[in-house]
Amino acid sequence: MIIAMTGQKGGVGKSTTAICLAVAAMDRGRRVLLVDADPQGTARTWGDVAAEQGHHVPTVIAMGAHMHKPGQLKAMAEAYDDVFIDCPPRVGDVQRSALLVADVALFPCGASAADAWALAASIEVLAEVRAYRENLRAAVVITRKQGRTALARSARAVLEESGLPVLRTELGARVAYQEAIAVGLGPTRFSPRDPAAREVFALFDDVEELAHGTQERDGLASQAAAS
């Protein structure tokens, strides 16, 4: 499956989520390709650090606005079980290209109203692409969540108003994410007993379900979270 981490807001956790999911997928024995589509190069730098440390890492490559074209990412993806694309924080050709090639678009998003508002432009691009790619699945992932506050709970409701399902797994704001990334790992390997590791595996399972259509495209994920 090809999963794009996208959305135009900066600093919401796209790269962190992409890297952590890529490591978790490898932990599950899958062949993983991590595509860095952001000129900032977060995923590539992480890959370099990981390689220097001698960690068993996914293949990391850079790609841009041509990734959806014939012979590009789709051709390369055949040698892998899972491909994670880390997009830059803006609406543009790269995001569109990623949505044109992905099976699943994930929108990492903070648990605040401001984050929810920022989704609007990305959702427009998604709608455009979906006009001719009906099967493109999409969901919001709540990231950097600060505890079980009333604010965080109401943010889920606001995010659901975007019309996209909100995956049941939420990634908390935890230093384990930052520490793991800094040493070229993900929390599932760096701190397997930390709640961050559990969250990442749970998120991976949610994404697989979404990709395989066991969660109805627009609604079931949110209902599951509410129950």
Q: Which residues sit at the interface with ligand ATP, rule CB under 6 A?
A: 10-16, 38, 40, 42, 89, 143-144, 171, 173-174, 177-178
Closest CB to ligand ATP among residues 14, 137: 14
Element (H, E) at 32: strand 32-36
Shortest distance, position 218 Cβ to ligand ATP, whole Å: 24
Shortest distance, position 153 Cβ to Mg ion, whole Å: 27
42 binds Mg ion (CB under 5 A): yes
168 binds Mg ion (CB under 5 A): no
- Spatial CB neighbours of 64, under 8 Å, sequence gap ≥ 6: 37, 93, 94, 97
Q: For residue 70, give the 3-state DSSP assignment.
A: coil
174 binds Mg ion (CB under 5 A): no
Is the Cβ–Cβ distance between 162 and 119 less than 8 Å?
A: yes
Closest CB to Mg ion among residues 74, 90: 90
Q: Which of 5, 25, 9 is nearest to 141 (CA)?
A: 5
Is the Cβ–Cβ distance between 32 and 111 less than 8 Å?
A: no
Shortest distance, position 196 Cβ to ligand ATP, whole Å: 7
Neighbouring CB atoms inside 10 A of 195's CB total 13
Q: Which range binds Mg ion by CB under 5 A, 42-50, 142-150, 151-159, 194-202?
A: 42-50
Q: Which of 125, 122, 124 is nearest to 109 (CA)?
A: 122
Tokens of 78: 């055949």
Closest CB to Mg ion among residues 42, 72: 42
Is the Cβ–Cβ distance between 144 and 171 less than 8 Å?
A: yes
Shortest distance, position 187 Cβ to ligand ATP, whole Å: 9
Closest CB to ligand ATP among residues 16, 95: 16
Q: By the criterion CB under 5 A, which residues form the site for Mg ion? A: 14-15, 42
